[in-house]
Amino acid sequence: MKYISTRGQMEPIEFQDAVMTGLAPDGGLLLPQELPDVGNKLEAWSKLSYTELAFEVIRLFATDIPDADLKQLIDDSYATFEHPEVCPSVDVGDFQILELFHGPTLAFKDVALQFLGNLFAYILEKRGGKLNILGATSGDTGSAAIHGVRGKPNINIFIMHPEGRTSPLQEKQMTSVLDANVFNLAVDGSFDDCQNIMKTTFGDVPFKTEHSLGSVNSVNWARVLAQTVYYFYAAFRTLEKTGASTVQFSVPTGNFGDILAGYLAQQMGLPVSKLILATNENDILTRFFNTGEYSKAQAVPTISPSMDIQVASNFERYLYFKVGKDAAKLVDLMNDFKDKGVLKVALNETGVVDDLFAAGRGDTASTLETIKRYKEQYGYVLDPHTAVGVYVAEKFRSPESPTICLATAHPAKFTQAIIDAIGEAVHHPTLDALEHAETRCETIANDVDLVKQYLVEHI
C-alpha cells in the first residue's frame, strides 16, 4: 500500500515513510492511494479478538512491515490496556457506550499513541537514527504522547505546557513519568506561547534536521489507522447483540481525527448508516456539515477542553474525498480558507453536505445536564466530552440502527466538571495514585532560544 498527499504534489511513499513524514512536503495530508474493500472479510473479522482484528485491519495498510513484527507491535501496544477487551462496549439506556479510556492515561488518544510509540521505536531500530519529539499541550495529548514513548530506545520527548494553567491532575499525569527520555517543560506563559515556541522551532529547518525533531500530532496517518479498528470491533459487538444490520456512531469531535477513522471504516465497507458528529460551543464542524460553510471563529474554553478547537487538522482528509479525490479542487478550497478564513461546498438534494453525517452541538449547560441525567437514570457517569456526544446522539436516534457512542475519556480526569454536574467526584486508582507520586519538571522562560538550548543540552 502506497501513500499520496491530498494536495497531489508528492510521489507515492510506503507506510513506514508515511509514519515518519507526518505532513506531506506539499503541505497536504497523507492518505492511502486506495481504500481496500473489506466487505467480504467482515464475517470472519467479527469473530476476532481486539488485537487479532487490529492486526488484520492494519496489515492491509502497513504492507512494508512483516506480519510477525506487526503482530508483536500490536500485542505490545494493547497489553498496556487494563481491560481484557481493550475497547469494550457497555449498555447504557438506549445506547452502546464504547469505552476507549482503558489505556494508561484514561483517554482515547492512548489507542493511537501506544501504537505510534512502538511503531516509531521499531522503525528507528531498523533504519537507525534518533527521534526527538517536541510538543505543546494544554493537557490530554501531551500525557498520552509521553506514555506512548516513555522508556523507548532512540526517542526523546519534550513536552511544553503552560505553567500553572493545565489542571493539576493532567500536569501530574505528565510530570510523574520519570523515564530518562521524558522531559516536561513548564513554560512561563500561555498555551499559545508554547505553540509559538514549537512553530518557531520547527520553522528553523536546519535546526530541525540537525536535531531530528519530530512531532506526534493528530495528522499522523498511523494514529487515524489505529482508530479505525475500534469502529469495526464495536460494530461487530453491537450487530451480534441486537441483530440489526447497520449501526450509527456518535463521536465527540475536535480535530476530526476520531470521526475520520469512522468515515474510512464506512468507506471500506463497514455497515454504518450514520456518523453523528458532536461538537461543543466550538462548532466549526457542526456548522460545516449543516450549511456547507467552513469558517473560522475564535476558540472559547469549555468543560470539554480537548474539543476546544476551531480549525480541525484532519478535516482536509475528508474534504479530499468530498471533492472526488481531485487534488487541484482541494488546493483551491484550502487556499480560500487560508486567504478568506472560509471555504464553501455545495449542499446536496437533501440540503446537507453529506447524508452519511448528522451534526449537532452541545453547550455547557446541556453537557452538565446530560451527565447528571445519566448518573440518575442509569448510574453511569459520562465524562464531559462523551456527554456532548450522547446529548447530540439523542436527537438522531434511529429505530432500525442502534447507536454506539464513543466514550473518549474516563470521568475521573475532569474532576471539577463532574462535581458541578453530580455534586461529587469520581475516582480512578491510577489517578488517585498520582497524589503522592514523585514528579520531575523543568520551569523555563517563554523564550524560543532558551527552549532550543535546553533541547540541545538534553538530546
Ligand X SMILES: *Cc1c(COP(=O)(O)O)cnc(C)c1O
Instruction: List residues with catalytic annotation.
Output: 109
Sign, CA dihedral 141-146-147-149, equals positive
- Residue 189 as a binder of ligand X (CB under 6 A): the answer is no
| Number of residues binding to ligand X, judged by CB under 6 A | 17
Alpha-carbon span 333 to 316, nearest angstrom: 10
Q: Judge contact between 410 and 103, C-beta under 8 A.
A: no
Which span (40-48, 168-176, 252-260, 266-274) binds ligand X, by CB under 6 A?
Answer: 252-260
- Contact with ligand X (CB under 6 A): which of 99, 140, 163, 354? 140
Site string (194-223) toward ligand X, x via CB under 6 A: ------------------------x-----
Query: In this complex, which beta carbon is closest to ligand X, that of residue 140 or of residue 354?
Result: 140
Query: In this complex, which beta carbon is closest to ligand X, that of residue 65 or of residue 149?
Result: 149
Question: How far apart, in Å, are the Cα atoms of 448 and each of 66, 189, 191, 430, 451?
Answer: 41, 12, 14, 34, 5
What radius of gyration, in Å, describes the C-alpha atoms of the chain? 21
- The CB-of-256 to ligand X minimum distance in angstroms stands at 5
Alpha-carbon span 194 to 159, nearest angstrom: 9
- Residue 254 as a binder of ligand X (CB under 6 A): the answer is yes
Q: Judge contact between 162 and 191, C-beta under 8 A.
A: yes
- The CB-of-102 to ligand X minimum distance in angstroms stands at 13
- The CB-of-4 to ligand X minimum distance in angstroms stands at 22
- Residue 385 as a binder of ligand X (CB under 6 A): the answer is yes
Question: How far apart, in Å, are the Cα atoms of 315 and each of 22, 29, 254, 312?
Answer: 15, 10, 10, 5
- With cell 510509540, the residue in question is 117
Phi, psi of 425 (to 5 degrees): -85, 160
- With cell 520553522, the residue in question is 203
Phi, psi of 159 (to 5 degrees): -120, 125
- Residue 317 as a binder of ligand X (CB under 6 A): the answer is no
- With cell 476551531, the residue in question is 310
Which span (34-42, 104-112, 126-134, 160-168) binds ligand X, by CB under 6 A?
Answer: 104-112
- Residue 255 as a binder of ligand X (CB under 6 A): the answer is yes
Which span (255-263, 295-303, 358-366, 423-431) binds ligand X, by CB under 6 A?
Answer: 255-263
Site string (48-87) toward ligand X, x via CB under 6 A: ----------------------------------------
- Residue 109 as a binder of ligand X (CB under 6 A): the answer is yes
- Residue 283 as a binder of ligand X (CB under 6 A): the answer is no
Distance of CA 155 to the CA centre of its chain: 21
DSSP conformational letter for 93: T
Binding site for ligand X (CB under 6 A): 107-109, 140, 218, 252-258, 306-307, 385, 408-409
